[in-house]
């Protein structure tokens, strides 16, 4: 029973706590807020339900912007004494800057943090105690379609409603309006629901009769220089004022009842004119424009003032002018050479100074001279020849030599570069050493070593010859193909041959020493060696690959096992020669050791073989060295079985008093060092630590190491 009672209490408390405070929507005690300097306070009713707020709570009354947005809400009031007042009314003071139709009020608490629903939107406008004056109380008028400006004396709202003849007309954001229809106008600032309390005075706008001005002169006038020009309207009206403008600037004083204006035609008075007319009501109108242009002659050139004639070319002399009715005469060096109406170009085929004279034969008596054209034909030429970019003296077996630059000198001292498109007007001839080669044109191909030499290009223009600065060409030789035509024998020399070239010097070398120089492409080699040939022409050299010359019999003698032999110390080796008729073996001192094909060798050293074959004596050398690696043991088994118990060196080593023997343990520490080793190491295994199995030996002789190796002890 007690357990059930406790459960009921818990449910009751949970139900009570489930009802929390609620801030209700604020209620406005006004429909709209018309704010003035004397009235700014408006009441709003607030309420909340369920239970009181704690004493630590504070209420904030907030105002939105004119769009109803509370993101930057303005706090109008802060209340901390209404926490137990479930309903209360509070007077709020609105600022004179308010102007809009979407303001809202809301209330929020701090403990707990609650925010009410915003109030309904309302209009709120500041309505100043002002009287608006329109157009300074003055009646306005407009001329034709030109509008008149109606303007209030002050700006008191964001928007204005304009009325015409008592009815809505339009709205503006600024306190003025342009109108072009007659009527009675007034303006009212827009204050939403508060509008109507501020209104301007009424202004009457009248429409005046439209004006018209007609000129008594044509729209275009062409005048001779100095000609008197009279500008005027067709009818002058009493009381009207007149003023003439040229190119937009006034040129006459304001005249009353008279429109005439006179001036003398000149460069400073030509242009576009119009007449400005103002009536007694201040209405202004402008006439159609009048274009006054001079009958003067304007001339300019559209071709270069300097031209050059080459060959059959012509120089087109061209001018342009502002008129097409002129008589144009062309003069060369002061003498007339052509004349016609509108003759704006002339083809000059001779050198000279040319100009045109333009005459007005129908209107104003005047003539104008064009600038002077100068037509030249070169009085001298200079030519520059050069090789193409890949040319290197003696390195190339072919080269291209061509005209690099052709320059013409004019009579006034100027120089011009003559392009390839004009080469057809010249004759070209190539000279080598001053003698014509028969090659014409601006390019010559040098594709043989004999083409080397000093070249000049002759340029002929209208029977006159001009010569370039000379260029010397060095054309390289092909690489010689040296080959052995006949081999070297005991009875005949070797014949070396190379391809034969005209006027070439052949330098023959044996083992890099010059042995012969001459014009022969064949050489008789009496001795063996390495030969090469160097060909020379005009200082250019070309060297062949080397060719080795060896006596033919030398190649038939063979020695087994070779000419460099390794001999195990205390062993004997047989060396056998073959391929000859007889043999003689000698030692390094020249002592005869054998006259048989075979020789038994037991000592290292140098041995000589002299063999005779077909009357030729051939000598060869055999080098014998000791094979220490094979002779010196690298494994010792000191187990006292009388087999391989000691490290035994060949007797050759033991007999050499200069041989030093060094044995080191695995740590590099010497355990034996002697010059009289007797094949007794190791004397006992008791002297050898059990963990040491690898030792190293060094054999020195004459202060130099002759052999090194490893000794492994197997127990």
Q: Distance between CA atoms of 383 and 409, rounded to whole angstroms?
A: 11
What is the predicted pLDDT for the residue at 467?
A: 94
Question: What is the pairing mode between strands 483-486 and 471-473?
Answer: unpaired
Beta bridge partner(s), residue 592 = 586
Domain 558-626 fold is Immunoglobulin-like (2.60.40)
Mean pLDDT along residues 364-372: 85
Predicted pLDDT of residue 206: 86
Which of 134-148, 253-267, 555-569, 676-690 shows the highest mean pLDDT?
A: 253-267
What's the confidence (pLDDT) of residue 401?
94
CATH homologous superfamily of 483-549 equals Immunoglobulins (2.60.40.10)
Range from 208-217, 580-589, 633-642 that averages highest in pLDDT: 580-589
**Taking residues 436-464, what's their average pLDDT?**
92
The pLDDT value given to residue 555:
64
Phi/psi of residue 478, each to 5°?
Answer: -65, 155
Say which CATH class 299-376 falls into: mainly beta
Residue pair 394/446 in contact (Cβ under 8 Å)? The answer is no
Residue 553 pLDDT class (50, 70, 90 cuts): low
pLDDT tens string 265-315: 887 889 999 999 988 877 888 999 999 987 778 889 888 988 898 888 899
Q: Residue 148 above 80 pLDDT?
A: yes
* Residue 402 reports pLDDT greater than 60: yes
pLDDT at 12 (0 to 100): 36
Give the model's pLDDT for residue 147.
87
How far apart are alpha carbons 65 and 61 in whole angstroms?
A: 14
Q: What is the DSSP letter of 630?
A: H
| Homologous superfamily of domain range 22-126 | Immunoglobulins (2.60.40.10)
Using 50, 70 and 90 to split pLDDT, how confident is the model at 579?
confident
Instruction: For CATH 2.60.40.10, list the domain ranges present in the chain.
Output: 22-126, 135-208, 220-294, 299-376, 380-473, 483-549, 558-626
pLDDT bin (cut points 50, 70, 90) of residue 3 is very low
Which range (195-209, 236-250, 699-713) has the least confidence? 699-713
Q: Reduced to 3 DSSP states, what percent helix, strand and coil does the chain have, rounded to the nearest 5? A: 5, 50, 45
Q: Would you state the pLDDT for residue 620?
A: 84
Give pLDDT tens digits for 591-611.
998 899 888 988 888 999 888
Upstream peptide bond of 112 is cis (omega within 30 degrees of 0)? yes
Residue owning tokens 């009958």? 295
**CATH architecture of the domain formed by 635-713:** Sandwich (2.60)
Of the spans 132-146, 203-217, 443-457, which averages the highest pLDDT? 443-457
What token pair was written down for 472? 């010397």
CATH 2.60.40.10 fits domain 380-473: yes
CA–CA separation, 372 and 139 (whole Å): 70
Helix, strand or coil for residue 354? strand
User: Can you give the pLDDT at residue 614?
Assistant: 66
Q: Name the CATH topology of 135-208.
A: Immunoglobulin-like (2.60.40)
Q: What is the pLDDT of residue 691?
A: 64
Residue 714 Cα distances to 308, 443, 646, angstroms: 108, 90, 11
Per-chain mean pLDDT for the chain: 88
Q: Tell me, what's the pLDDT at 687?
A: 65
For residue 258, the tally of other CB atoms under 10 A from its CB is 12
DSSP E strand stretches across 19-121: 22-23, 27-28, 33-35, 41-49, 59-63, 74-79, 87-93, 99-103, 105-109, 114-115
- Read off the pLDDT of residues 642-679 as tens digits, 9 standing for 90 and up: 788 788 888 777 777 888 888 888 888 888 888 888 88
Provide the pLDDT confidence category of residue 83 given band limits of 50, 70 and 90: very high
Give the confidence band of 496 by pLDDT, cuts at 50, 70, 90: very high
pLDDT tens-digit readout, 405-421: 999 999 888 898 988 88
Q: pTM for the full model?
A: 0.42
Tell me which long-range contacts 655-662 makes (C-beta under 8 A, separation of at least 24): 656/701, 658/701, 658/702, 659/699, 659/700, 659/701, 659/706, 660/699, 660/700, 660/701, 661/697, 661/698, 661/699, 662/697, 662/698, 662/699, 662/700
pLDDT value of residue 554: 61
| Higher pLDDT, residue 488 or 216 | 216
pLDDT tens for each residue of 52-75? 999 999 999 999 999 999 999 999
- The CATH number of domain 220-294 is 2.60.40.10: yes
């Amino acid at each position: 029973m007690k357990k059930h009672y406790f459960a009921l209490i818990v449910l009751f408390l949970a139900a009570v706590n489930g009802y929390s405070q609620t801030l209700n929507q604020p209620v406005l005690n006004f429909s709209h807020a018309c704010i003035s300097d004397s009235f700014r306070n408006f009441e709003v009713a607030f309420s909340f339900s369920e239970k009181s707020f704690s004493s630590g709570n504070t209420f904030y009354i907030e105002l939105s912007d004119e769009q109803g947005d509370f993101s930057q809400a303005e706090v109008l009031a802060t209340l901390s004494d209404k926490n137990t007042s479930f309903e209360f009314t509070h007077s709020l003071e609105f600022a004179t800057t308010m102007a809009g139709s979407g303001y809202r009020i809301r209330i929020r608490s701090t403990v707990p943090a609650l925010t009410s629903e915003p109030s309904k939107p309302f209009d709120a406008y500041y309505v100043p105690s002002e009287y608006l004056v329109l157009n300074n109380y003055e009646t306005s008028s407009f001329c034709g379609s030109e509008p008149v400006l109606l303007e209030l004396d002050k700006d008191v709202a964001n928007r204005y409603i304009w009325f015409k003849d008592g009815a809505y007309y339009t709205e503006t954001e600024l306190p003025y309006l342009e109108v072009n229809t007659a009527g009675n106008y007034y303006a009212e600032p827009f204050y939403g629901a508060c509008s109507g309390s501020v209104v301007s005075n009424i202004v009457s706008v009248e429409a005046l009769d439209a004006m018209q001005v007609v000129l008594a002169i044509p729209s275009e006038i062409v005048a001779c220089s100095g000609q008197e020009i009279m500008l005027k309207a067709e009818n002058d009206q009493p009381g009207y004022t007149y003023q003439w403008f040229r190119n937009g600037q006034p040129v006459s004083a304001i005249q009353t009842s008279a429109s005439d204006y006179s001036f003398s035609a000149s460069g400073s008075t030509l242009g576009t004119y119009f007449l400005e007319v103002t009536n007694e009501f201040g209405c202004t109108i402008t006439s159609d424009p009048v274009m006054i242009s001079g009958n003067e002659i304007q001339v300019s050139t559209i071709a270069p003032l300097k031209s050059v004639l080459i060959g059959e070319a012509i120089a087109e002399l061209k001018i342009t002018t502002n008129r097409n009715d002129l008589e144009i005469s062309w003069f060369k060096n002061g003498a007339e050479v052509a004349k016609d109406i509108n003759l704006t170009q002339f083809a000059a085929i001779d050198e000279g100074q040319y100009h045109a004279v333009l005459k007005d034969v129908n209107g104003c008596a005047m003539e104008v001279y064009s600038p002077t054209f100068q037509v030249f034909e070169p009085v001298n030429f200079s030519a520059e020849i050069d090789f193409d970019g890949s040319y290197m003296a003696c390195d190339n077996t072919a080269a291209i030599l061509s005209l690099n630059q052709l320059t013409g000198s004019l009579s006034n001292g100027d120089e011009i570069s003559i392009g390839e498109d004009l080469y057809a007007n010249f004759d070209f001839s190539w000279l080598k050493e001053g003698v014509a080669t028969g090659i014409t044109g601006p390019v010559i191909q040098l594709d043989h070593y004999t083409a080397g030499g000093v070249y000049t290009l002759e340029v002929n223009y209208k029977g006159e010859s001009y010569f370039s600065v000379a260029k010397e060409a060095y054309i390289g030789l092909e690489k010689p193909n040296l080959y052995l035509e006949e081999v070297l024998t005991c009875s005949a020399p070797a014949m070396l041959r190379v391809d034969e070239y005209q006027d070439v010097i052949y330098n023959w070398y044996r083992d890099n020493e010059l042995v012969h120089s001459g014009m022969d492409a064949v050489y008789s080699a009496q001795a063996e060696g390495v030969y090469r040939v160097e060909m020379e022409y005009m200082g250019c050299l070309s060297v062949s690959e080397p060719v080795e010359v060896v006596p033919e019999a030398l190649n038939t003698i063979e020695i087994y096992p070779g000419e460099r032999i390794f001999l195990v110390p205390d062993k004997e080796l047989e060396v056998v020669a073959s391929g000859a008729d007889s043999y003689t073996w000698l030692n390094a001192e020249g002592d005869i050791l054998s006259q048989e094909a075979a020789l038994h060798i037991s000592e290292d050293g140098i041995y000589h073989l002299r063999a005779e074959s077909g009357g030729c004596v051939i000598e060869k050398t055999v080098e014998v060295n000791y094979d220490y690696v094979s002779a010196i043991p690298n494994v010792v088994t000191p187990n006292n079985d009388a087999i391989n118990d000691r490290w035994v060196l060949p007797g050759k080593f033991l007999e050499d008093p200069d041989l030093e023997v060094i044995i080191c343990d695995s740590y590099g520490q010497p355990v034996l060092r002697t010059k009289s080793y007797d094949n007794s190491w190791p004397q006992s295994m008791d002297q050898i630590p059990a963990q040491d199995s690898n030792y190293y030996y060094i054999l020195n002789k004459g202060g130099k190491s002759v052999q090194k190796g490893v000794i492994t002890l197997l127990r």
